[in-house]
Homo-oligomer: A and B are copies of this chain.
Amino acid sequence: MLNQSAALDLTFQALADPARRAMVERLSKSPASVSELARPLAMSLPAVMQHLAVLESSGLVVSQKIGRVRTCRIEPKAISLAEQWINARRGEWERRLDRLGDYLEELKAKGDEDGSGG
């Protein structure tokens, strides 16, 4: 079992490639065989298999071979971890901007008071 930081390394690394993102986009719609994944990509089947291996080792995708067909599907847990990490950052800077906004409002209110008093 990977720790959370190592899992995020692998997930973000896996998503840092347009072909792998295209494969995740495809699999988000429905499970697909390796040849279905390869069809819209301008690359050889071995290249697709290599990208698939990266996606599987990150945990983003799982595949199962039944007979001669390997079917791939998305595994939502890994991408959720990445999503949570990004959401947490956004939460932090939004709270910071809110605090800054409150401070500017206070300054403005104080300025209005001073203005009406003088």
A interface residues, Cβ below 8 angstroms from B? 5, 8-10, 12-13, 15-18, 21, 24-25, 28-30, 74, 76, 79-80, 82-83, 85-87, 89-90, 92-93, 96
Cross-chain pairs A/B with CB under 8 angstroms, 10 sampled: A8-B16, A10-B16, A12-B15, A28-B89, A29-B93, A76-B90, A79-B86, A79-B89, A83-B87, A83-B90
Please state if A30 and B96 are interface contacts (CB–CB under 8 Å): yes
| Residues of the B chain whose Cβ atoms lie less than 8 Å from the Cβ of A96 | 28-30
Q: Contact check: which of B12, B21, B83, B85 meets A13 at CB < 8 Å?
A: B12
Tell me the nearest residue of chain B to A86, going by C-beta. B83
Tell me the nearest residue of chain B to A60, going by C-beta. B89
Please state if B90 and A79 are interface contacts (CB–CB under 8 Å): yes
Please state if A93 and B18 are interface contacts (CB–CB under 8 Å): no
Please state if A17 and B9 are interface contacts (CB–CB under 8 Å): yes
Extra inter-chain contacts (20) besides given A21-B85, A29-B93, A83-B86, CB under 8 Å: A8-B15, A8-B18, A9-B18, A10-B16, A12-B13, A12-B15, A13-B13, A13-B16, A15-B82, A16-B16, A28-B89, A28-B90, A29-B92, A30-B96, A74-B89, A76-B93, A79-B86, A79-B89, A80-B90, A82-B86
